[in-house]
Structure 1
Amino acid sequence: MTIEGWTQTLGAGPLLLIAAAAIAVLLVLIIRFRMHALIALIVVSLLTAFATGIPTDKVVSVLLSGFGTTLGTVALLVGLGAMLGRIVETSGGAKVLADYLVNLFGEKRAPFALGLASLIFGFPIFFDAGLVVMLPVVFAVAHRLGGGMLRYGLPAAGAFSVMHIFLPPHPGPVSASALLDANIGLVVIAGLVAAIPTWYLAAYLYGLWVGKRLVLPVPAILGTATAEAETHPPRFRTVVGVLLLPLVLIFLNTGLNTLATSGVLEESVRQQFWFQILRTLGETPVALLISVLVAALVLGMRRGLHGSALEKLLESSLGPVCSVILITGAGGMFGGVLRTSGIGDALADVLGDLGVPLIVAGFLISAILRVAQGSATVALTTAAGLIAPAVAAADLNGMQIAAIVIAVAAGSVVASHVNDSGFWLVSRFFGMDVKTTLSTWTVMQTIMGIMGFAIAAGVYGLASLAGS
């Protein structure tokens, strides 16, 4: 949020000290004093707004703007995703799919199977939407095989994360590609080269390692299969069709958007009614709504669940995720205060003239902005914008520029913590407290960022040799 007529007068040093103090106070309140995360986030956001000099008559507006913007993105996705998950879980559909994956890959390879499925799902579908759709299957596998939540949850969540970070058509790499004038096709190639080994090491192998040392119970947030579902489960193809429906619809939207922005489709085609309708059907909230309606029909009504019973089932899915939605929104509120206060701009000014190679500067600027204000997209686009003039002036080939895009994207995922709404989404859905989330999810995201940068630097070096 930009405040008209107000300019930040504090320098970068005081702003960074305030940000560091705010994060420290927040962690102490939640971990040491066991204050509820929602209340702690609101209190610290309010104090930070005053400390950074945001006009007092605008403080509440800034808080509500950050909260509302995050809820506008997350609330419908989590709510509709929870409904879809509850239907799939209680109908026995999640167990059917889990049994199929386990039988196909074997019990020892079940975490790999979940991660592989999530990589495929994660190509067109955003992180938060993909996670809530996949959760019932993850829970079902964890219930069947044991070993705790992290052994199965981290490989799946990590798969959605790497796809969201490195690959178009996700917004981060697309916006960075536009700012740096990178070839999207080459960015996809470089993104795949970075994403797959990064997932294998930083999510799959790391998830297995952490899962052995920290065995967490499987949350009951999506309920359990009914006795009827246990004896008469739905068909495998029906369950797959229900879960693939949002994937297909969202892929339709992203495909049409890509064709439109690339200029493949003429303006007259883009303005036609059928084109706009298809794009709307593929918007994530609409795609999830359609999927919930289809699931209610084929996994609910056709299996004898009608009227008030179906309504109560859907209603029961919203209570457990209310906390997830509110805390995620409050995390967005805190990040919004940090951005409005000018902390990100101050860091950008300080880091903009770093005397280091372009690819290193892009990664460092993106990583530090990410740690400071929480939003990966803001960190990525800001860093890409800062280095864009230097990239344009340098004599770089297409693959070198694509590697810089991946490096900047890698920086934007480093150290997910309490000012990141995604941190709270994973924390609540996985049933983890803040300390546990910091020691698992935050560490995993940091490894992903560092490894992604290392691979991008390798691609950049090879491209430099090939071009010389």
Structure 2
Amino acid sequence: MNEELTLAFELPTAALLTLALGSIVLLLVLIVKVKLHAFFSLIIVSLVTALAAGIAVGDVLSVVVGGFSTTVGNVALLIGFGAVLGRLVEVSGGAQVLADKMLKTFGEKRAPLALAVASLFYAFPIFLDAGFIVMLPVIYTVARRLGGSFMLYVLPSIGAFLMMHALTPPHPGPTAAATVMGADIGLVLIVALMVGLPTWYLAGYRLGLVMAKGYPNFPVPNLFGESRVTEEHERPAFGTVILVLLLPLALIFYNALSNTLAADGRISEDSFGYALSQLIGPTPVALLISTLIAMYLLFIRPRKGSGKLGDALSDLIDNALAPVCSIILITGAGGAFGAVLTATGIGGSIAEGLDAMGLPVILAGFLVAVVIRVAQGSATVAATTAGGIMAPGVMELGLDGFALAALVVAIVAGSITFSHFNDSGFWLVGRFCGFDTITTLKTWSVMATAIGFMAFCLSWGFYALVA
């Protein structure tokens, strides 16, 4: 339980678990049955749950607002810059250029596979939130061109982003878990890819195709404004589009590499290169720089001399940002709900019990991560916290090398499972894909859980071979 909070009363773990389940049921009733907007539903349930959990009246609002502001602070810039960059790529015809190239290379029948493979590469250095938003215009364009259900094209890509975000460094969850457990980041990356690629193919790509059959006529959303088909001579060069899309990845990777080298003592934190990486490499700044360059290359330069260029660019940005404001608020409200569940202490209580049950260390670590994930929503927090809880036991066992790396991957696999209303990604991806709440549970949540469990099973198998 958060020691800074004043508790009116304390509930036992069983009561807290019942309360958490009840709050989720109440959310479903408000959103699905009452048809109350998800933003209002989440805030109302967060307040009610906080009071019922024994958080003092004077602290309830601070917990809710704190969770809301922390989540919005983390995702608002990513969503905003990502939405504008995505809109620029779409309006300029850049998405059509990429779609043409992908379809020519892979063929129309393999379009879902092409999008999923592209998502794998794009998801490697960049956060799921930002990367998925920037990929969406390409997915929209391919889906509109080829027809059929939007699910057929978006679900395999979602699986790619989920796997990479959950399992592979330099994403924050696996990186932090590896660090607190003393594992070699390079070995963790090798094991993550060995485990993650077959997991993505079966539990992401193939499962996505199967789930898409249940939605044969799902429409393509129109969240970035009206789609405009540009003439071929108006479209940017393929190299220009690739530059705009890969620039944020390069900047983020530069930052991650500099941090790794500095941590190993290979470069000085006082060096110019390291300082520059800290300035331009964080994801929000990398996206800002890339978006500004995209404004010039994709919009301003092709339209020089057309008149009222500033007004047209301002209108484009307004059109890109307007649809995502609701998504940002809902995402923040999901963070508030997660903060309330975290403040109850339910995740920590159950995790401590699991750790003391004498289970195999790899199974205990996975289950601890699952519990923390369900309780507070963030995959990064779940992976980091579970790694910290398991670290003392791992030290006693003397694990190292590939065995320790496999254990880390098994733990972070638990951090992606059972995504629900307290996960900001649940709301962000669901809303950008045009899913209602039940559809998001049936697609995003099921796929995330399948990826987590399959990755855990493969990690355990590898661990058994090398431990």
TM-score, structure 1 as length reference: 0.95
* Aligned partner letter, 2:457: A
What secondary structure does 2:6 align onto?
A: coil
Deviation at 1:197, TM superposition (A): 0.7
Counterpart residue number, 1:290: 289
Counterpart residue number, 2:250: 248
Q: Residues 227 and 174 (structure 1 numbering): CA distance in 2 closer, same or farther, change over 3 Å?
A: closer
Counterpart residue number, 1:276: 275
Instruction: Give deviations 1:37-61, integer Å, cap 9, x for gaps.
Output: 0000000000011011111111111
Deviation at 1:341, TM superposition (A): 1.9
Deviation at 1:147, TM superposition (A): 2.1
Unpaired runs of 5+ residues, structure 1, are none
Counterpart residue number, 2:175: 174
Instruction: Give deviations 1:379-408, integer Å, cap 9, x for gaps.
Output: 222222222111111143421111110110
Aligned length: 461
Whether 1:302 aligns to 2:304 is: no
Counterpart residue number, 1:37: 38
Deviation at 1:28, TM superposition (A): 1.2
Deviation at 1:241, TM superposition (A): 1.0
> d(CA) in 1 for partners of 2:337 and 2:3?
16
Preserved CA contact (<8 Å) 2:5 2:56: no
Preserved CA contact (<8 Å) 2:119 2:160: yes
* Aligned partner letter, 1:426: V
> d(CA) in 2 for partners of 1:225 and 1:237?
22
Preserved CA contact (<8 Å) 1:154 1:204: yes
Whether 1:344 aligns to 2:369 is: no
Match of 1:406 among 398, 409, 413: 409
> d(CA) in 1 for partners of 2:274 and 2:180?
27
> d(CA) in 1 for partners of 2:229 and 2:94?
13
Whether 1:433 aligns to 2:436 is: yes
C-alpha RMSD of matched pairs (Å): 1.5
Instruction: Tell me which moved more, 222-231 or 292-301.
Output: 222-231
Preserved CA contact (<8 Å) 1:334 1:419: yes
Deviation at 1:273, TM superposition (A): 4.2
Whether 1:49 aligns to 2:50 is: yes
Q: Residues 229 and 245 (structure 1 numbering): CA distance in 2 closer, same or farther, change over 3 Å?
A: farther
Instruction: Give deviations 1:78-126, integer Å, cap 9, x for gaps.
Output: 0111001111101111011011101100011111111111111111111
Deviation at 1:449, TM superposition (A): 0.6
Aligned-pair identity (%) = 52
Preserved CA contact (<8 Å) 1:147 1:211: no
Preserved CA contact (<8 Å) 2:5 2:55: no
Match of 2:234 among 226, 232, 236: 232
Whether 1:380 aligns to 2:379 is: no
Q: Residues 395 and 274 (structure 1 numbering): CA distance in 2 closer, same or farther, change over 3 Å?
A: closer
Deviation at 1:224, TM superposition (A): 4.2
> d(CA) in 1 for partners of 2:301 and 2:5?
59
> d(CA) in 1 for partners of 2:273 and 2:371?
44
> d(CA) in 2 for partners of 1:399 and 1:226?
50
* Aligned partner letter, 1:369: I
Preserved CA contact (<8 Å) 2:331 2:424: yes
Q: Residues 229 and 280 (structure 1 numbering): CA distance in 2 closer, same or farther, change over 3 Å?
A: farther
Deviation at 1:448, TM superposition (A): 0.2
Deviation at 1:238, TM superposition (A): 1.0
What does 1:69-218 correspond to in 2, within 5 Å?
69-215=70-216, 216-218=218-220
Deviation at 1:223, TM superposition (A): 2.7
> d(CA) in 1 for partners of 2:270 and 2:48?
47
* Aligned partner letter, 1:139: Y
What secondary structure does 1:264 align onto?
A: coil
Preserved CA contact (<8 Å) 1:343 1:373: no
What secondary structure does 1:54 align onto?
A: coil
Instruction: Tell me which moved more, 392-401 or 439-448.
Output: 392-401
Q: Residues 228 and 395 (structure 1 numbering): CA distance in 2 closer, same or farther, change over 3 Å?
A: closer
> d(CA) in 1 for partners of 2:150 and 2:3?
43
TM-score, structure 2 as length reference: 0.96
Preserved CA contact (<8 Å) 1:91 1:229: no
Preserved CA contact (<8 Å) 1:111 1:151: yes
